[in-house]
Amino acid sequence: MLRWLLLIPFALMMAMAAGLVAMMVASVVSPGIALLIGGGFERLLDALFGLADMGVDPGPTAEAAFALLGRLGFAIIVAPVVLVAVGSELFGLRSGLIQSGLTGLLSALLPLGMLGLTRTPSGAEVQIIGALVLVGAATGFVYWVIAGRGAGAERAGHTPRS
């Protein structure tokens, strides 16, 4: 029970922090990710200040934009690692490859499903999808290192591997 109350939430928080660091590293390495992150924020701020200059209240636009950013962040960083962690704990999946692979796959698929990409992605979009897979894999790996190696140990009556 102590594992569910302390170790797993701690591992999830550290994994999410690692996902944010991986996203920053990806933005340094990949111009597409850097443009997506930096260019997107720059355009958003320009649009909000442009609305304010025209005398239009930028509040509703800002609220909608930040809500979308929050949902995307949740779909990229939080939801994949939590879903895979809960699944691995319930089914006793202890493989680091499964943790990293499934988390990476979900990190790319959840935002794509949320945005409704119904066409073949362009080269730059494929690069961004690849970066999202790597960000998710890093997140899943950090969770596995901290808590995933002993997944399902309490339920199955096993002791975690050392």
Q: How many CA atoms lie within 13 A of 156 on its CB side?
A: 14
Give residue 115's pLDDT band: very low, low, confident or very high (50, 70, 90): low
Backbone φ and ψ of 57, nearest 5°: -70, 115
pTM given for the model: 0.77
pLDDT of residue 160: 53
- Taking Cα atoms as reference points, which of 18, 51, 41 lies closest to residue 145? 18
The pLDDT tens digits of the residues spanning 15-44 come to 999 999 998 888 888 777 777 776 777 788
Distance between CA atoms of residues 12 and 18, nearest Å: 10
Residues 26 and 131 sit within 8 Å (Cβ to Cβ): yes
Separation CA 37–CA 43 (nearest Å): 10
- Asked if residues 126 and 98 have their Cβ atoms less than 8 Å apart, the reply is no
Provide the residue ranges of all domains of the chain, joining segments of one domain with +: 12-40+72-152
